[in-house]
Structure 1
Amino acid sequence: MRTERIADTDVRFRRGGAGSRAVVFVHGFLEDQYVWDGVIGELGSAGVETVQLDLAGLGERTDAHGPFTLDRFVSEVRAVVDSLDKPVVLVGQSMAAPIVELVAATRPERTLGLVLLAPGPLAGTHLPAEVVERFRESGGSTRAQRELRRQLSSSLSEADLDRLTVIGERVRPKVVCALVDCWNAGHPDGEMPSRYTGPVLVIRGADDGCVTAEGAEQVRKRFVAADTATVDGAGHWAHLEQPAAVAALLDAFLAKAPAADTATPRVGQQRWTTAFAEKSAGSFAEAFAEDVVLEATVLTRPVEGREQVKQVLAAASGIYESLEFTYDSSRGPRTYLEWEATAFGGMPIQGVTILAADDDGRIVRAAIHHRPLGAALRFSAELRARLHGHIDPAYFYDGDRQPARPPAN
């Protein structure tokens, strides 16, 4: 085990083991980096390095100055990820689940997967004022913290309760209040599908009264490729209550995660899926290189240039009533995405999108293949109507005109 520091900061992190991949563990509310020791001790995956750190105001950093915000925590964890010389799997518990999701969203090319344990929703819990006040007032109160943990767990030992209480009572009351505000208010990104599109595992304790089965499902649904798992005999602190069970789930996840030597950049794909989720021309503009070229089944010829392409795709995203990316694969700078959608009152549409990105991850060429033919023709005619006065109608199918017949021999 060795300790390193991010230059010009008080952020320190511990590295254990060795391997081509790293698992970065981020602790939750009123905890510290050492709560993961039991899980790490049970891990059986070979070729994996483990990384632990304390968030500002907690653990060995109780004297850290503010602000204590989600953005600050994301910046610290991202700095740790950037300092590692390998791709990572990010593990976050409770309050840390939104933190690691936001890190993954900004570092998709470095992130092999996410494991969210007893995850708080990125959009925030928005608990009733009287409940929030109980958490805020727990700062500096050994009795209050111990009682909250007892209520939300099912098999925490007295030793673990003592240990967590000691960790929590060292946190300054004003920091406790700031942390409560973080996970209760949440982040604006939580109101939309996740920007991270890689593999995700959502884990909850079967007896967790804070993160219910319904709550875990709501978290799962925000991701393109996410599974759920339940740990029996555990509440909100499954990593302490049942460390071997949590380690087994993590080992299984690591076994299925992309190998480090085959991981490929996903920046272009990330920007593409985010743009479709947000349905705005501005989001598409951020995804594209200036000279981007768009080809599609619904176009009579390619559309060229960022300005025109962003208008076409912003209009197209507004036609879909639902859109789900069901499979992706990458090879070098090229990404293949399969998707399923509905439009026009539930009409099913399927397709494949091929993206080519430059060295900066900006998309330089996109090819979108729609099926079946009837849906593609209707889609093209609808684009023609929506973009009237903005894009030359010759790019689209004229629904009032029969397709030209091939000349006779």
Structure 2
Amino acid sequence: MRLNLVEAGEGPPLVLLHGLFGAAGNWGAIQKHLAATHRVLAMDLRNHGASDREAAMDYPAMAADVAETLGDLGAAPAAVLGHSMGGKVAMALALTQPGLVERLVVADIAPVAYPPALRGYVAAMQAVPLAPGLTRREADAALAGAVPEANIRAFLLQNLRFGEGGPAWRLGLGEIAAAMPVIEGFPAVEARYEGPVLVLNGERSSYVRPVHHDRIRALFQRAEFATVPGTGHWVHAENPQGFLALLEPFLAGR
């Protein structure tokens, strides 16, 4: 699948891959900053944003989308940065097509299976009554029972369009709901990626724990680990300056 993307800047190519329920636009300020030194390609993964819908959401298939898009753009090899689900896509790409990945950055995710903690979000989004005249306040209220955190509801509601034709999600919610067991996991792979790898975890996040380090190093022998201060799971949004301070030297090969 050829993915929709937002492109900015000139220089060595850098791919940005968002997490579950995200979109290319989530990278906004980070992309703008990095565009001073790189050709930055922020992609909408399948079933997200303006990219096409497809039932399969296994990581090799999503990695193949990124590979196809890079090939069409003549942008490989590239540095590849992925957050959360996008980090798993980035890891799958490096393991299955290492020649396309000049270096790899994984933001707050490990190549392991996670508990089904986010399935309630999908069900709550599917249950929002998309009737003409629905307001953002009403949609927020409809999500509140399953998603008590206001900031997470605001993030999810970025995907709800209001306008002509009535409200609509810019997500393949049905496809995502069916694929959640696959999204939560990570495929068993025999391959190894030998390029440089930076794993960034949030100081307050439990997504990448010391118990995961051996698994990461088994697949990525050159993995380095660093912590973004004062952040939970959304490391690049919660402390963009701290995130960039760790990211930019790695991208520059320092």
Question: Normalised by the shorter chain, which TM-score bucket?
Answer: 0.7 to 0.9
Q: Which residues in structure 2 correspond to 1:312-323 (within 5 Å)?
A: none
Matched, 1:249 2:246: yes
CA contact (8 A) 2:63 2:92 kept: yes
CA contact (8 A) 2:47 2:53 kept: yes
Task: Give the residue type in structure 2 aligned to 1:248.
Answer: A
Secondary structure class of the residue paired with 2:10: coil
- Structure 1 residue 59, shift from structure 2 partner: 1.2
- Distance (whole Å) between structure 2 residues aligned to residue 51 and residue 38 of structure 1: 13
- Structure 1 residue 38, shift from structure 2 partner: 2.0
Larger radius of gyration: 1
CA contact (8 A) 1:220 1:228 kept: no
- Distance (whole Å) between structure 1 residues aligned to residue 24 and residue 145 of structure 2: 22
- Distance (whole Å) between structure 1 residues aligned to residue 205 and residue 123 of structure 2: 22
Q: Determine what percentage of the aligned residue pairs are the same residue.
A: 22
CA change 1:177–1:18 in 2 (3 A) is same
Q: TM-score with structure 2 length normalisation?
A: 0.78
- Distance (whole Å) between structure 2 residues aligned to residue 28 and residue 253 of structure 1: 21
- Distance (whole Å) between structure 2 residues aligned to residue 45 and residue 88 of structure 1: 16
Corresponding residue number in structure 1 for 2:41: 51
Corresponding residue number in structure 2 for 1:88: 78
Corresponding residue number in structure 1 for 2:4: 12
- Structure 1 residue 14, shift from structure 2 partner: 2.6
Task: Give the residue type in structure 1 aligned to 2:123.
Answer: E
- Distance (whole Å) between structure 2 residues aligned to residue 12 and residue 92 of structure 1: 16
- Structure 1 residue 41, shift from structure 2 partner: 2.7
**Could you give the per-residue CA deviations for residues 250-289 of structure 1, whole angstroms, max 9, x where no partner exists?**
21111217xxxxxxxxxxxxxxxxxxxxxxxxxxxxxxxx
Q: TM-score with structure 1 length normalisation?
A: 0.50
- Distance (whole Å) between structure 2 residues aligned to residue 15 and residue 166 of structure 1: 20
Task: Give the residue type in structure 2 aligned to 1:107.
Answer: Q
Of 49, 52, 66, which residue of structure 2 is paired with 1:77? Answer: 66
Matched, 1:60 2:50: yes
- Distance (whole Å) between structure 1 residues aligned to residue 213 and residue 146 of structure 2: 28
**Could you give the per-residue CA deviations for residues 88-117 of structure 1, whole angstroms, max 9, x where no partner exists?**
101111112221122122332332110000
- Distance (whole Å) between structure 1 residues aligned to residue 124 and residue 244 of structure 2: 30
Task: Give the residue type in structure 2 aligned to 1:52.
Answer: A
Secondary structure class of the residue paired with 2:158: helix
Q: What 5-or-longer segments of structure 1 have no aligned partner?
A: 1-8, 151-156, 258-409
The structure richer in strand per residue is 1
**Could you give the per-residue CA deviations for residues 213-234 of structure 1, whole angstroms, max 9, x where no partner exists?**
3255245323110111111121
Matched, 1:228 2:198: no
Corresponding residue number in structure 2 for 1:33: 24
- Distance (whole Å) between structure 2 residues aligned to residue 33 and residue 145 of structure 1: 25
Q: Which residues in structure 2 correspond to 1:145-184 (within 5 Å)?
A: 146-147=147-148, 150=149, 158=151, 162-167=154-159, 170-184=170-184
Matched, 1:140 2:126: yes
Secondary structure class of the residue paired with 1:81: helix
- Distance (whole Å) between structure 2 residues aligned to residue 38 and residue 145 of structure 1: 30
**Could you give the per-residue CA deviations for residues 347-366 of structure 1, whole angstroms, max 9, x where no partner exists?**
xxxxxxxxxxxxxxxxxxxx
**Could you give the per-residue CA deviations for residues 104-139 of structure 1, whole angstroms, max 9, x where no partner exists?**
223323321100001142x422x2x6x465355344
Q: Which has the higher contact order (CA 8 A, sep 6+)?
A: 2
Matched, 1:214 2:199: no
